[in-house]
Amino acid sequence: YYNENTIVYYNGSFIKASEARGNVYDQTLHYGYGVFEGIRSYATESGVQIFKAKEHFERMKYSCEVMNIPYPYNNDELVAISYEVLKRNNLENAYLRPLVSCTPNMSLTKAKGSHLLIAAWEWGAYLGETLLRLKTSPFRRITPASFMVAAKVCGHYVNSILATQEAKDNGFDEALLLDMEGFVAEGPGANIFLEQDNILYTPQLGSILPGITRATVLEICNDLGIEAIEKQISPEEFKGADSAFFCGTAAEVIGIESLDSIPFKKNWKDSLGFLIQKAYKDRVLVKKFKQEVVSV
């Protein structure tokens, strides 16, 4: 993620990552009370472009608002600063990590102040390029009865880490988390779609992070005339699907081979997910997706 030359933006200036200092009494360090984003940039024909930068910073602002973390930042400026971080590190295809952490406060009260970090590094496809073998996690996804699930809060990722470890310890590639009612929610770091009879389904908002990639996939479906429905999905329904994929900024669009060792019916290359994956790649590279087959 970094070396001795890495530059980050931290609290108003561009400094060496090795010189960025937190405080051991920072509230975020003790309680996971902070928020972050994950954004990607791409080398496109018209130069480096940060995909949906504004949307990510808007979500970061929302996350801070609902968590009562001071957000004295201007999102247009943060977009400009993000491009500068890329430039100073000679990065084109990169992952950007903005983080708003809280200043010292050992009480369980509202944040007293915030630090802002924007770091960037080269990061390949987060879940790899090969089809994933999923395991239903014994850990349930965080519930709206206890957490602000639509905010991207640091502490929420303890649940993600538990689920990922458990899946990998059992020889699977990734976890699938159910919500507290037992319906399909999302992966530890990505939203999920399934295909059934040429229609895509994805869990409705409520117990999931409203993914920016999920929204892009829905836009692509609209453009390509693919029907996409947001609804509650049971694990049984999921297991009977024709195909499935994860989507997220870091993971992009990645196909799923099986759930709990039960393979999906369609070959990935024949699935709607495969079309979406191609269209997503073109969209982030600001290319127009040429639709070859309309399989609706």
Binding mask 50-89 for ligand PMP (x = CB under 6 A): ----------------------------------------
To the nearest whole angstrom, how small is the minimum distance from the Cβ of residue 42 to ligand PMP? 14
Closest CB 125 distance from ligand PMP, rounded Å: 13
Structure tokens at 117: 């970090």
96 binds ligand PMP per the rule CB under 6 A: no
Q: Which of 174, 186, 195, 252 binds ligand PMP (CB under 6 A)?
A: 186
* Distance of closest approach, residue 5 Cβ to ligand PMP, in angstroms: 28
Q: How far apart are CA 61 and CA 135, in angstroms?
A: 33
Exactly one of 98, 203, 248, 255 binds ligand PMP (CB under 6 A); that residue is 248
DSSP β-ladder status, 132-136 and 252-259: parallel
Cα angle, residue 187 at apex, residues 102 and 28 outer, rounded to 5°: 10
DSSP 3-state percent helix, strand, coil across the chain (nearest 5): 30, 30, 45
Active-site annotation holder among 110, 135, 152, 278: 152
Phi, psi dihedral angles at 150 (to 5 degrees): -85, -5
Query: Can residue 35 be called a binding residue for ligand PMP (CB under 6 A)?
Result: no
In the complex, the smallest distance separating the C-beta of residue 282 from ligand PMP, rounded to whole angstroms, is: 17
Q: Using CB under 6 A as the criterion, what x/- string covers residues 203-232 for binding ligand PMP?
A: ------x-xxxx------------------
Interatomic CA distance for residues 59 and 82, integer angstroms? 15
160: left (phi over 0), alpha (psi -120 to 50) or beta: alpha
As a whole number of angstroms, the distance between CA 42 and CA 283 comes to 10
152 is catalytic: yes
- In the window 138-167, what residues touch ligand PMP (CB under 6 A)? 160
| Element spanning 278, H or E | helix 272-284
Active-site residues: which are they? 152
> Contact positions toward ligand PMP, by CB under 6 A?
38, 160, 186, 189-191, 209, 211-214, 248-249
